[in-house]
Amino acid sequence: MAEDKVTRTADAGSEAASLPKVKTRKTKQRACDEKDAKGKVCAGHLKRWFEYPAEIEKLVGKGAEIYRCEFCKTLYRPDPKQLPNSYTVRY
């Protein structure tokens, strides 16, 4: 019984570690500002992510406008002061 609890907590810890960090974009931000262990800025391009997996959908909500860094995979929510780009990319 005690081993089962240890296994479950270890699985929950690894699942939380696999989920990416979610930040809010600054006004007109186009590059990632996340720092690595050495303190170096990532500076990867933030790309709009249209089709994300179910785990990410649970994290950010269904149909959310979300951006992802091309290098470190950090997620960014849109700037609340900016108008959403959701309707400008419709086909």
What is the value of pTM for the model shown?
A: 0.73
Model confidence pLDDT, tens digit, residues 40-85:
999 999 999 989 999 999 999 988 889 999 999 999 999 988 877 6
- Measured CA to CA, the distance from residue 79 to residue 38 in angstroms comes to 27
The count of C-alpha atoms lying within 13 angstroms of the C-alpha of 38, restricted to the half-sphere facing its C-beta, is 3
Q: How is 25-74 classified by DSSP, letter by letter?
A: PPTT--B---B-TTS-B--PBEEE--S--HHHHHHH-TT---EEETTT--
Model confidence pLDDT, tens digit, residues 8-36:
444 444 555 588 999 999 999 999 999 99
Give the 3-state secondary structure of residue 24.
strand
| Contact between residue 59 and residue 49 where contact means Cβ atoms under 8 Å apart | no
